[in-house]
Amino acid sequence: MIRIGAVTLDTSHPLAFAKVLEHDDRAKYVGVFDDSFRSDQEVANFVSRFGLEKRCTSLDELADMCDIGFVHSCNWDRHLAYAEPFVRKGKPVFIDKPIVGTLRDCEQVAAWVRQGAVILGSSSVRYCQEISAFLAKPVAERGEIVSIYGTSGVDEFNYGIHVVEGIGALAGKMARSVRYIGQAEQQGKRSEAYYVSYGDGLNALYHTFSGCWQPFAFTIMTTKSTHAFTVDTSKLYAALLDEIFQFMEGKTHKLAPLDVLLDSVKIMLAGRISRENGGQTVPLDAIPADDPGYDGALFYAGYSANAKLLYT
């Protein structure tokens, strides 16, 4: 059985993942390290509810007792610090979305992988059944993809990364540039649109929506037809975990390599820069090295202040 170490219980994902694992004997959370905003009682409840062996007092202790670490922190600025002990000990680590939020951190995690680290991630939408089913169709049947449209809600980056990763899975190639198109707002809820150029006759358009949840919906125009679907979110976590466990068991899997995961982050960084510069086209290779990126600490402050009791 695959032994998983949980790094923080910030989000609902550890709870949701653990519930999936109750029906799957392939893996289990065995330990947790939490230095975040969840109370000691919530952490104790998680340990008791899912039969973990212990709450660890250090990341090194957790890394020593598990086969893979799952970094669940909602502060993406701390993701690499949380992942480092696993990398140092030669253990794989899954980093929940968004994997990182700055170009600097993109370069650091890429350097780790070049040195042999195993970094897995990040959005469950990338591995959803609907995208997998579409890509499984023969190109002769579905046609070559020409344009992709996708939507997401809640916020710009923490949730927006889902739709960008989904588009990346469908595109199957790295983006070249991003251009901010514009926004619309009603009743304090704002939608923003971004155009992504992949070159070679392929483009994409994604909408973020801040202020309320929106479904992950995709429309794909091909040389033969138009295909549309809405992601069944009730099946997302099982699909993601299955791919991770396939990898851990040495079996065929569909996990994206790190450079592909980081491409999604860079798309959103370029889109933000384009918005701040009047909608100019921003090539991904032109993102400044000192770009501040998305502020994980700021997001963490808002998220933790509004977090409800989860682990009862």
216-259 per-position pLDDT tens digit:
999 999 999 999 999 999 999 999 999 999 999 999 999 999 99
Tell me what the mean pLDDT of segment 158-168 comes to. 98
Residue 192 — very low, low, confident or very high, per pLDDT cuts 50/70/90? very high
What is residue 207's three-state secondary structure? strand
Assess contact for 47 and 17: CB atoms under 8 A.
no
- 4: buried, middle or exposed (CB in 10 Å: 19+, 13-18, 0-12)? buried
Residue 185 — very low, low, confident or very high, per pLDDT cuts 50/70/90? very high
Q: Which of 216, 204, 209, 211 minimizes the C-alpha distance to 179?
A: 204
pLDDT over 90, % of the chain: 99
Tell me what the mean pLDDT of segment 22-47 comes to. 98
The pLDDT, as a whole number, for residue 273 is 99
Mean pLDDT score of the chain, rounded to an integer?
98
Contacts of residue 237, defined as CB under 8 A and 6 or more positions apart, other chains included, come to 13, 16, 17, 20, 124
Assess contact for 143 and 225: CB atoms under 8 A.
yes
Fold of 2-98+298-306: Rossmann fold (3.40.50)
Tell me what the mean pLDDT of segment 116-141 comes to. 98
> How far is CA 93 from its chain centroid?
13
Tell me what the mean pLDDT of segment 158-180 comes to. 98
Tell me what the mean pLDDT of segment 13-23 comes to. 98
Residue 83 — very low, low, confident or very high, per pLDDT cuts 50/70/90? very high
The pLDDT, as a whole number, for residue 286 is 98
Helices (H), the chain: 13-21, 40-49, 59-65, 79-88, 103-114, 129-136, 139-142, 160-171, 236-248, 258-276, 296-306
Residue 132 CA to residue 154 CA, distance in Å, equals 24
The CATH architecture annotation of domain 125-233+263-284 reads: 2-Layer Sandwich (3.30)
Tell me what the mean pLDDT of segment 180-196 comes to. 98
Tell me what the mean pLDDT of segment 3-26 comes to. 98
Assess contact for 131 and 104: CB atoms under 8 A.
no
Question: What's the number of CA atoms in the CB half-sphere (13 Å) around residue 181?
Answer: 13
The pLDDT, as a whole number, for residue 111 is 99
Residue 213 — very low, low, confident or very high, per pLDDT cuts 50/70/90? very high
What is residue 200's three-state secondary structure? coil
The ranges assigned to domains in the chain are: 2-98+298-306, 125-233+263-284
> How far is CA 146 from its chain centroid?
25
Full-model pTM: 0.97
Residue 50 — very low, low, confident or very high, per pLDDT cuts 50/70/90? very high
Tell me what the mean pLDDT of segment 174-202 comes to. 97
Residue 10 CA to residue 78 CA, distance in Å, equals 12
Tell me what the mean pLDDT of segment 258-269 comes to. 99
The pLDDT, as a whole number, for residue 198 is 97
With residues binned 3-state (H G I as helix, E B as strand, rest as coil), the percentages for the chain, rounded to 5, are 40, 25, 35
pLDDT over 70, % of the chain: 100
What is residue 236's three-state secondary structure? helix
The pLDDT, as a whole number, for residue 220 is 99
Residue 277 CA to residue 185 CA, distance in Å, equals 20
Paired tokens of 113: 């992988």
